[in-house]
Structure formats: C-alpha cells, structure tokens
C-alpha cells in the first residue's frame, strides 16, 4: 500500500481554510450573497495551492454555506440559509433520539403542549384565509373513513404544520419543524390502533374554529384536550402491548 502523505496534508489544510471561511460567514464578515475572492486570490491569501483551495470550497459547498455561479459574473457566493434544509437535519436527529427512547411520552407531550400553545395564540392573531383552508382540507381528509392509517397520520402532520404556518413567524416555524415532523409521526405509530379518528378530527375542528374566531382560550383548550387524548391513547397502547408480552405463548 502506498501512503499519499501530500494528500493527507492537503486535506488537513483544506479543512482549516474551510473553517476559516466558515467563521467569516458565521460572524458576518462575509455577508449573504457576497462573492468570495477568486481561487487564485484565496490561494495567494492563505499561501496554499489552488487544488487545496478547491478542496476547501467543496467542503463549504457540502455544508450548504456557499454555492457557485457560472459566467462572467460567476464565482463562489455565500449561500442564503435554507430553513427547511436545516430543520430536516435537526428533525432526523430528533427522530433517531425518539426512536431509541431518549425522550419519554410525557416529555414529548409537554414539549408539544408548551410550543403549540404559543402557535395557537399567534395563529389566532396572524392567520390568513389560506391557512384556514389548509386546515379545513386536512380535517375533511381525516373524516374520510376509507383512507389508510398512513394517510390519516400524514394528514395529522399536515394539519399541525398548517397551524404552525399560520403563526407567520419564521423562527418559530423553524423550531416547530422538529416537533411536527418527528414527534407527531412517532406517537402516531404507537397510538393509531387505539385512538378514534373521529375524535382526533373533532379536536382539530375545535382548534380551527377557535383560530378562525381568534379565540385564544378556546384554541389552547382544544389543543390541551387533544394532547390529553393522545397521552391516554398512548397509555392504552402500552398497556395492551405489555399484556400481550405477559400472556402465555401458544
């Protein structure tokens, strides 16, 4: 086996250069949409070769920190953050943690109650007609007894996503992405056999009606009742599973 020491060294330097540029982006010395110096200028500035600069730029592109444009006015530019992309990365980690039991049901329900209560309050003040239409559409889907469990669960997620969207608050939507996209599907996987769809759809209707009337108290009460029902359904599902495990195998 031939060891390529020069490639190892170059990779180490490229990582340091990428971290240096990343720091400049994170602390605002390089602004969104600002063009980076050319590869030649960067190589001269850091005292490194152009191949090493390219490796550093590849690292930054892989982290969605920069993007390239072709043409006379092209080059490498600082990329505008993608909230959905960032949220998906966080959600993937949260889903894994929930899946391995790092959070128990009480923690999940409490997190949902506290955060979605804020969403209900803001939704009552900030919603538009399109938000209400999105929620109403999902409720109609949930009332269709012919849809599969998977489709019902997907509609459940979309309803709460519409509720969060109606807050018209970007940072909150970013934070809630994890709650909606990881916590709800995980609990749905466990409680879908014991919960009654019509009850869930009914709670959703109460939330939507309260948001429509801009009634924050009724909206948060309906949310509280919904999550209490989810908690009880979870307990019923766990009890049934424990009894099945304890029963003699035939």
pLDDT along the chain (250 residues), means of 10: 42 86 85 90 90 91 86 86 62 68 84 95 97 97 92 94 95 84 78 84 98 97 95 83 69
The torsion angles phi and psi of 30, rounded to 5 degrees, stand at -110, 125
168 in the same domain as 133? yes
pLDDT at residue 110, rounded to an integer:
92
Contact predicate 135/204, CB 8 Å: yes
Cα→Cα distances 108→81, 186, 197, Å: 28, 10, 21
Contact predicate 59/76, CB 8 Å: no
pLDDT at residue 8, rounded to an integer:
38
Domain end: 21, 44, 78, which one?
78
The number of folded domains in the chain is 2
Please state whether 64 falls in left (phi above 0), alpha (psi between -120 and 50) or beta: left
Write down the H helix ranges in 28-82: 39-46, 50-62
Report which DSSP code applies to 35.
B
Here the CATH number for the domain that contains residue 87 is 1.20.120.530
pLDDT at residue 95, rounded to an integer:
66
Domain end: 61, 78, 95, which one?
78
In a domain, 4, yes or no: no
> What are the tokens at 124?
């009552």
72 in the same domain as 87? no
89 in the same domain as 169? yes
Here the CATH number for the domain that contains residue 14 is 1.10.10.10
In a domain, 131, yes or no: yes
Domain that holds residue 134: 83-246
201 in the same domain as 99? yes
In a domain, 3, yes or no: no
pLDDT at residue 84, rounded to an integer:
60
Domain end: 55, 78, 101, which one?
78
> What's the burial of 121, exposed, middle or buried (CB within 10 Å: 0-12/13-18/19+)?
middle
The whole-angstrom separation of Cα 232 and Cα 40 is 64
Q: Which residues pair with 75 in a beta bridge?
A: 69
Beta-carbon neighbour count of residue 1 at 10 Å?
3
223 in the same domain as 117? yes
142 in the same domain as 73? no
In a domain, 125, yes or no: yes
Of 157, 223, 233, nearest to 191 (Cα)?
A: 233
The whole-angstrom separation of Cα 179 and Cα 175 is 8
pLDDT at residue 156, rounded to an integer:
94
Contact predicate 203/222, CB 8 Å: yes
103 in the same domain as 65? no
> What are the tokens at 25?
């982006």
In a domain, 39, yes or no: yes
218 in the same domain as 133? yes
198 in the same domain as 180? yes
- Strands 75-78 vs 66-69: parallel, antiparallel or unpaired: antiparallel
């Amino acid at each position: 086996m031939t060891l390529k020491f020069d490639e190892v060294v170059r990779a180490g330097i490229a990582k340091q250069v990428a971290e240096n540029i990343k720091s400049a982006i994170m602390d605002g010395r390089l602004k969104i949409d600002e063009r980076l110096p050319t590869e030649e200028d960067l190589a001269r500035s850091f005292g490194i070769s152009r191949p090493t600069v390219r490796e550093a730029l590849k690292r930054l592109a892989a982290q969605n920190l920069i993007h390239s444009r072709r043409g006379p006015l092209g080059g490498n530019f600082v990329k505008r953050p993608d909230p959905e992309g960032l949220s998906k990365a966080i959600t993937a980690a949260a889903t894994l943690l929930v899946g391995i039991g790092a959070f128990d049901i009480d923690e999940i329900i409490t997190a949902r109650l506290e955060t979605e209560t804020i969403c209900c309050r803001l939704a009552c003040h900030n919603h538009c007609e399109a938000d209400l239409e999105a929620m109403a559409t999902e409720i109609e889907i949930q009332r269709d007894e012919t849809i599969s469990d998977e489709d019902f669960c997907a509609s459940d997620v979309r309803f709460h996503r519409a509720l969060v969207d109606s807050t018209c608050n970007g940072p909150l939507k970013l934070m809630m992405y994890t709650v909606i996209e990881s916590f709800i599907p995980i609990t749905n996987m466990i409680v879908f056999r014991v919960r009654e769809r019509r009850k869930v759809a009914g709670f959703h209707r109460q939330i939507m009606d309260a948001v429509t009337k801009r009634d924050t108290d009724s909206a948060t009460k309906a949310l509280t009742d919904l999550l209490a029902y989810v908690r009880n359904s979870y307990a019923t599902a766990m009890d049934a599973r424990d009894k099945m495990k304890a029963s003699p195998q035939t």
